[in-house]
Every structure is written in C-alpha cells, then in structure tokens.
Amino acid sequence: MSRQPVFLSDGVVAGLLRYEELIPRLEEALGKFSLRRSSELLQPVRSVMPLQNHSGFLGLMPSYMPNEGILCTKMLTFYRREAGSSLPSTQASVLLFDPEYGNVTAVMDGLDITHKRTAAVSAISAKLLKPAQLDILCILGSGHQALSHYEVFTLLFSFKEVRVWSRRMESATRFAASVKGPVTVCSSVKEAVNGADVIITVTSSSEPVLFGNWVKPGAHVAAVGACRPNWRELDDDLMRDAVIYVDSREGADTESGDIILSGAKVFAEIGEVINGTAPAFCEKTTVFKSLGMGIQDAVSAKLVFDKWKSQQ
C-alpha cells in the first residue's frame, strides 16, 4: 500500500465536477449528516487557526463516511485580499485517504470543489425553501462564489431578472459582462434587493450589508460569507424576523457571527428538511446560513476521484 498519491490540478478537477452529479450526492450527505449516526458519518466542526496579519484563518475540515469509503480532509486558507489581487481569497487542497489502510490516495486542488459545492448547497436550500414567486435573483458580491452561484442558480431555476451589486461598481460591471445571460448592475444594495425573491450574499464583509427592512417578505436568502464568530453580512432585524436554516447547528453556533451576535434561534438544518423531520416554511422569509462542511468537500472529491480513475 505504498503507492504515491495522485495529484489532480484545478483544471482537471473543474473538468470532472458537474453540478448534475454533485447535487444529488450533496443532498444525500446533508440528510445523513442531520441523522447524527456516528457509525455512518463523522465530521467535527472546522478547526480554525486565526491569521491576524491577514485578517484571515487556516481551517481544517476532516470527515469520515465509512459506508461510502470516504476518509477526507480539506485544508484551506482565507486571506482578506484587496480587489485586483491575483490570488483568490480562499485557497484549498483536498486530501482523500484509503479508509482501509490510511494512506493518501489523492491530493487535489480544492478551489473548484469549494466554489461548486458551496453554490450547489445554496441552490439546494433555495429548492427546499422555494418562495412562491421566483422571478428575481439578486447576488450581493461579485467574486468567485458570486460566479459559481450564478452558474448553478441559472442552471436550476428560470429567473426573469438577475441583479448584481458589488462594493465597487466596476467589479459588478465586469461580473455582468463575464457571464452568459443578462445581468442588471445595481448601484446600491437597497436597489438590488428591492422585490428580489432570492438573495445570495457572497461578500467578504465583516459588517452587515443586507438589512431586513429592504427584504421582500417571503424571500429566501442564502447567506454564504461571514464565517467567523465576529463577522456579519445580515443585520439583526433580518436574523430576528426570518426563519433560520443552517448546514450544521454546531458549525453555526461556533462560527456564525450573524447567528451568535444577533442571538437568532436556528430553526433547522437543511438536512432535516431533506429527511422530512423539519418543515420548509416556504411562505415565510427564510435565511439559509451556510458555513461550509467537510462532508461537502468529501463527497465532491470522491466523485472527482472516481471519475478520474474510470478514465485511466
């Protein structure tokens, strides 16, 4: 069992990972996670080491799904970057092990996995908590996650209008020009979210950018940024008035400033909605607070590795 691990570059991973195959695997994993059967799935809360010099952190995200033959960890760094930096703010590597023997079988670049699995889980939340009307999609932020969220949301849903807002107008304009379909560039958050049915927050902000009194009652918000206990994207009004769903209760209670600082109560994990053990309040304003989980990376990496092996 002393074979060297294979290395799969970002280009190879991106070529193999397809939303159509990824989404059902993520749904299954989210449902399993919420059952809390430790014989089937283990995933501790992300271990985080702050990197003060960079307003960032290094995170370790292990997970184990013995029945799936998955033992995996993602290692990531998040650095708060100035606009125009050539490096992405989140960088990641994923290690897959042979669960039988403990040797590393594959090391893969984790960028595309992080972009796609995060966006796919937000799209799953919108599918489960679908508002009655689905005409307007609004994306706040114009970076990597904005792009992957645009891709999967326009793949799964048919919006009449897609809007984008970014702190710097030229970034929003560049984003709109880079995607296939029409995108309205908005000059303020208030204008962007006005009447929107689905709002995605994908900013690196540590202060609220989205305020509850701007949000249409019954809208669904997928809140993806603000992944540290003292960072916010959403204000107290929105956190108090919406029904709050999360990927992991333990993760949310440990890492989400929006939840910890607002004192908002988590209603359910989206895995519980998938399992039918918690209701989907589609008619109410809902927030899905995403922090990201190791199992999401693990099932993505396993999918990529199996496809790569089948082509050798």
Ligand X SMILES: NC(=O)C1=CN([C@@H]2O[C@H](COP(=O)(O)OP(=O)(O)OC[C@H]3O[C@@H](n4cnc5c(N)ncnc54)[C@H](O)[C@@H]3O)[C@@H](O)[C@H]2O)C=CC1
Residues that bind ligand LZCNNONV (CB under 6 A): 76, 78, 90, 114, 227, 292
Distance CA 124, CA 186 (A): 26
Written as one string, the DSSP assignment of 222-239 is: EE----STT--SB-HHHH
Nearer to ligand LZCNNONV, 56 or 212 (CB): 56
Question: What residue type is 226 in one-letter code?
Answer: A
Residue 164 touching ligand X (CB under 6 A): no
Nearer to ligand LZCNNONV, 220 or 228 (CB): 228
Q: Judged by CB under 6 A, does residue 54 bind ligand X?
A: no
* 271 is a site residue for ligand X (CB under 6 A): no
Torsion sign (Cα): 261, 265, 271, 273: negative
Q: How far is the CB of 75 from ligand LZCNNONV (least distance, A)?
A: 10
CA atoms within 13 A on the CB side of 126: 32
Please give the Cα distance from 242 to 223 (Å, whole number).
Answer: 12
> 301 touches which of ligand LZCNNONV, ligand X, none (CB within 5 to 8 A by kind)?
none
Asked if 199 touches ligand X (CB under 6 A), the answer is: no
Q: Is the Cβ of residue 9 or residue 85 nearer to ligand X in the bound state?
A: 85
Q: Is 300 in the site for ligand X (CB under 6 A)?
A: no
203 binds, among ligand X, ligand LZCNNONV, none (CB under 5 to 8 A by kind): ligand X
**What is the C-alpha to C-alpha distance for residues 66 and 43, in angstroms, rounded to an integer?**
12
Q: Which of the listed partners (ligand X, ligand LZCNNONV, none) does 256 bind, with a CB threshold of 5 to 8 Å by partner kind? A: none
Residue 89 binds which one of ligand LZCNNONV, ligand X, none, with CB within 5 to 8 A depending on kind? ligand X
Q: How many residues bind ligand X (CB under 6 A)?
A: 28
Q: Which residues bind ligand X (CB under 6 A)?
A: 78, 81, 83, 88-90, 114, 118, 141-146, 166-167, 171, 202-205, 209, 224-225, 227, 290-292
